Copies of this chain bind each other. A is one copy, B any other.
Amino acid sequence: MAEPESKRLKTEDAPYELIYWPGLPGRGELIRLLFVEAGVPFTDRSKDPGEAVGLVTGLMSDNGDDANPPAFAVPALRHGDLLISQTANILLYLAPKLGLGPSEGNGVYHLNSIALTLIDGFVNEIHETHHPIATSQYYADQKEEAKKRSKAYTSERIPRFLQYAQRVIDAKTSGDGPWLYGGKLTYVDLVLFQCIHGTKYAFPKAMEEMEKSGKYDGVFALFKAVQERPNIKEYMASDKRCSYGDGIWRYYPELEEE
């Protein structure tokens, strides 16, 4: 029997639930950092590994529910009756609610374009560096191709995406301070922070070279500014932050060899 209307939580009062694979930062981290920075509690359903895997595989095979279409993959966010997937889409939904982006106007679309571009460059393309042939096959079986892809990624794509981020910082629309847009911290700064953090882990030599080049000083200054935010700093040092492993950002030293 359905609960009486009066006992149901309105969506705006409902808790936020993140559904994701257990034990990895992954795309879920791009969502978690918003809650951390905003100091808003959420239920992280990835924390109990047994439950998390069932939730994820269930979502990826069901046909949605009365109110929501099905998801292809996680992260997914549940908020009251609403269930949504796709990282950039979840960020778009959460940002105004958490005070990390505007709720209307041109800024919504400007920030969404920045988020989508950073995710393309430092999340989706990073995954391709270790799985250029097939996600379903072992890394060991595509290592030679991964070396070629990584060489192109570190020599061409990393500089190109860093240059893009630097251009956004250099643009008039970035305003004052180290931030990407509008003179204050928004969710895309948190996205860039995680992108740089993960890419430093996966390709430390390449990223050290990029930092030393002096061409992207604004990007690395922004990274440090986010790192020093009190809530972020506390979180990154805590055991709530997962270590990297066999996820999107992986460290295979052979992918940086000449």
Contacts and interface: CB of A to CB of B under 8 A. Distances in A.
A interface, size bucket: 35 or more
Nearest to A128: B128
Contact of A66 (B72, B136, B172): B172
A174 B56 CA distance: 22
Given A89-B113, A133-B132, A69 B173 contact: yes
B116 A86 contact: yes
A136 B152 contact: yes
> In the complex this chain forms, how many copies of it are found?
2
B167 A63 contact: yes
Contact of A86 (B112, B134, B170): B112
A164 interface: yes
Nearest to A87: B116
Contact of A134 (B68, B137, B152): B152
A121 B70 CA distance: 15
Contacts of A70: 164, 167-168, 171
Interface in A129-165: 132-134, 136-137, 142, 145, 148-149, 152, 156, 161, 164
A41 interface: no
